[in-house]
Structure formats: C-alpha cells, structure tokens
Structure 1
Amino acid sequence: MEQPAADRRTFRIIRSAAKALTAATALLLAGSLAGCDAAANALEVLESPAGIAARAPSPADRINALEQLRGVPVKGRAPKTGYTRDEFGPAWADVDRNGCDTRNDILARDLTGETFKPGTNDCVVTTGTLADRYTGTTINFVRGQDTSSEVQIDHIVALSDAWQKGAQQLSADQRKDLANDPLNLMAADGPTNSAKGDKDAATWLPPNKAFRCEYVARQTAVKAKYSLWVTQAERNAIVKVLEACN
C-alpha cells in the first residue's frame, strides 16, 4: 500500500535533517554489534534512505571490512549465461513502498538542495547538486531528456558481476532486493559510471582515490549480505586498498 502524502513529507524532513549528521552513531553501532555482520549493518545505517554521512573511513572501518572479507568465499567467475537486467526485477521498483521509485529515493538521498516535480508529493527529483564520490567533482543535476543521464544511479556491486558470483542461486525476490538496496546504490557521474560497467575491484576503482576505501568496503558488505563471492584477483585488490587506508 502506498504511503499517505503526509507520511512521505515526514520521511523527507527526517532524511534532510539526517544528511547533516555525522557518522558517530553508526560507528558506535559498529562497535556494539557482534559477528561479521557488524560492518554491513553499520554501512547500511550510513547508506539508508533516511540519511547519508560523508566522511573518511576510520581505522575501525578498515578492520571491520577486512574481517568481513575473510567470510566472503573465493571462487572463479561463473558464466554470464542467462543474465539480463530483468533477472533482478523491474528497474527502480518501489520496494520500500514509500510511494517513490528507488532511483528518485537515491537521488533525493545523495543530492543536496534538491527540488521536486510539482504534484509528485516530493518524489520526482528535478534538480539538485551532487558531490560526486567517483570523481571528486560537483555536478549540477537537472532532470530532462538530454540531462538526466549526467547523474546515474550506480550499483556498487554491478548486477552482472553479482550474477556471475552467486546471484544466479538467489531467489527472484532476493535479486530484486539486491538491485534496490540503498547499501548497493549511489548517485554518480554518468560517464564514469558507464566506464565502470560491470567491472569488479580487480579491474576498476574510482578515479577519486579518497573514496576507494569506502568503495571496496561497501562492495564487501554487499557481497557478504547477499552471500556472493569474490575472485582471488578481486579479493587481492580489495585487501590492497583496505590495507593502504589511513
């Protein structure tokens, strides 16, 4: 059931306020959680639709990510046979049933100063400013036929990569959740996202080196959450990045 407009407005207000918060709460949460899910749960708090915190990963984050990576199986890449985007459900479904599709939820989460199309109950984002993590640049987003693609929503673990590393064994609902999980989604510079394609950490890392630690930590968290695996080359690349984090 679609949420009432008043509830969606309340959600937007909470999210806007949360954008200004630091990651202190999530760090405390990570310290209090037991087991290898700690990093994933803390990152999910940071990357939830209710708020996002921009910060450099701490030494504790690096240790948590390395610990979590130890629990991710290492296997060879499976054939891509049978992969289509449809295997992960309709693009940008409203999985949280807040009345807005996932693309607009992520745009509203990651952009600042966003405006919305009138009559959409603050769902359809029309403008905003993106501090792009992949490039370290600032992008002015304007919704339109010729401009929307300048900001794309990236799957941090590409769906094709996920398909070749365990997602074939997931249920249809689990794959749909993976494709729409805020932990695995981020607004990004369109051309850079296109250049990334379905590459893993062994073959592609963000040009913005300051984001690489968080990037591979989130890839690790996603793969652990959905029982996916990594290749040996991918694991080596992730370890190399995490060990170099300050």
Structure 2
Amino acid sequence: MGGRGTRSIAVSITGISVAMAVLAGCGPLPEVDGDLAGKGGGTSSGAKDDSGTERGVNPLDNPDGTGPGLKAITSDKDRAKARDLIDKVATKGRGAKTGYDRDKFGYAWADSVDDVPWGRNGCDTRNDLLKRDGRGVKYRDGSNCVIVSMTLYDPYTGKTIDWTKSKAAEVQIDHVMPLSYDWQMGASRWSESKRKQIANDPLNLIPVDGSTNGSKGDSGPATWLPPSRDIRCSYVVRFAQVALKYELPVTSADKAAMLEQCK
C-alpha cells in the first residue's frame, strides 16, 4: 500500500468512500470475469489491455520486479513452478500490530534507498513505478521524473486507465506484501534501512486502480485477492517472491490460499 502521498479520497460508483492508501479497506472486491473486458471490468487473459495489446510480464520471468506489471500464468508447467516457489515460503502466526507506523518504513517513495533497483536514481519510487508500467508517459515541463499523464493497464481489474496527475488517487501503488503485514511477520525487528528497502523495492510494487488498492488494506491472500481471477496465480507468486527475498513467513491460511490459486 502507499504512503502519505497516496492518502486521498476516492470516489466509487456507489458513493464517496475514504480510501487511505496505507490501511484502508473493508474486504475483497467481487470477482471479475473475463467477459467484462473492455467494459471497465476484467480481462480473459489477465495480460491484455482494452485494445488487445499484450501487457505485463510473467512474474516467474521477472524475479527482480523491473519488468512491467503482471502477466497471467496459464501453462501447466509454469503453474507447477509457481507451486514449487510458494512451497518454499515459511509459515507462522501473524504477530501483533503494536508499534506499526508507515513512517517506520521511511518517508513514502523516498529515492534514498540502497540495494534495490532504481534506488538513488534521482526520481522518487512512485514515478519510477509509473514509468515502468505506464504507456504514453508524459513528464512535467523541465522534468525527466515527474509524470503528469499516462495510460496504465491495471492487472488487478483488467481496466485500462487514462491517468493524469490532477486525479492522482485514481492510480495508487500497491505494496503486494503490505507493510503492516511485513511488520507483523517480522519486519518490526528489522533495521530502518531494510524496512525502507521492502517499501521501495519494485518487486513489491504495482501501480493499480486506486479504489481496488484501497479495498485491500493489509490483507494477506487468504482474505484478499485481485478481482480478476486470471491474474491471481501471478499475484500470489509475486507475494511469495517478496516473502522469500526478505525471508518473511506468511500465515498458514495465506500459504494455503496461495497454493490454491496456482492449481
């Protein structure tokens, strides 16, 4: 989930709801079926935008997160690889949330982070991620960092979003493995520098529809999954990749849910 810069009010089709980018949310969104592609819903492939253009990278082929988005894992061979990867993740009970604060993971989208891709490159993390996943990216005059408009394919919903900075909250950056979850599973004992790494590591970050991101809160895969069913195996693979890189366990229920998505 995002930090200070994404704490904003999101407007939903049913009314106005406050969608804090850190710990907003009230449970999973309804599932989205493939026949809603092109109507602001899901996509049957989990990897094409509304124009039919292929988008995203299979997470099994993108272990550092520098490739754009997420592509659906569809082959039996890759789904078996996904289960093998998830099997390596350790489990334990979720710890207390006592002492958690977003600021414990550093200032939101700080560039001053070592040992992660694009750290200290002169651009903040949010703009790095928008550049990675956006198409038709346009920058503020005189800047090669601050993005003011783009088109984004959101793998979680299958939507193609025409985004402008004036409506910044329409796109939020999801921490696939939420920071509060990290805290409860062991990050509370980490150094500040390591917490800054997981908060700004592109492996753990995906730009998505803002209201969908708001629904997630700090849920694990047992209680929240992307609305588009086709992308769920890819999502839990990314969750596992982050857990393994940072040697964090997940709950037994979350691991069972992760394996279930890649059958």
TM over 0.5: yes
1:71 aligns with 2:93: no
Listed one character per residue, the Cα deviations across residues 9-62 of structure 1 (whole Å, up to 9, x for unaligned) are: xxxxxxxxxxx9996xx89xxxxxxxxxxx5xx4334x21xx427533244432
Contact 1:104 1:124 in 2 (8 A): yes
Contact 1:212 1:241 in 2 (8 A): yes
Residue of structure 1 aligned with 2:150, choices 128, 131, 135:
128
In structure 1, stretches of 5+ residues that fail to align are: 1-19, 28-38
Listed one character per residue, the Cα deviations across residues 150-175 of structure 1 (whole Å, up to 9, x for unaligned) are: 00011011101111112112221111
How many Å separate the matches in 1 of 2:77 and 2:241? 15
How many Å separate the matches in 2 of 1:61 and 1:108? 28
Residue of structure 1 aligned with 2:254, choices 234, 237, 240:
234
Residue number in structure 2 paired with 1:102 = 125
1:113 aligns with 2:113: no
Greater share of residues in helix:
1
Residue number in structure 2 paired with 1:44 = 63
1:86 aligns with 2:108: no
Following TM superposition, the consecutive aligned residue runs of length 4 or more in structure 1 with deviations greater than 6 angstroms are none
Residue of structure 2 aligned with 1:202, choices 205, 222, 239:
222
Contact 1:100 1:123 in 2 (8 A): yes
Distance 1:182 1:60, change over 3 A: farther
Residue of structure 2 aligned with 1:142, choices 151, 164, 175:
164
Contact 2:152 2:162 in 1 (8 A): yes
Q: Give 1:210 deviation, angstroms.
A: 1.3
Distance 1:98 1:171, change over 3 A: same
In percent, how many aligned pairs have the same letter?
47
The two structures have a TM-score, normalised by structure 2, of: 0.72
- Secondary structure of 1:44's match? coil
In structure 2, stretches of 5+ residues that fail to align are: 1-53, 114-118
Higher relative contact order (CA 8 A, sep 6+): 2
Listed one character per residue, the Cα deviations across residues 54-94 of structure 1 (whole Å, up to 9, x for unaligned) are: 53324443233322222221111100001000111111011
Contact 2:69 2:206 in 1 (8 A): no
Listed one character per residue, the Cα deviations across residues 96-127 of structure 1 (whole Å, up to 9, x for unaligned) are: 1111000000011111111000112x100100
Residue number in structure 1 paired with 2:17 = none
How many Å separate the matches in 1 of 2:170 and 2:55? 27
Residue number in structure 1 paired with 2:71 = 55
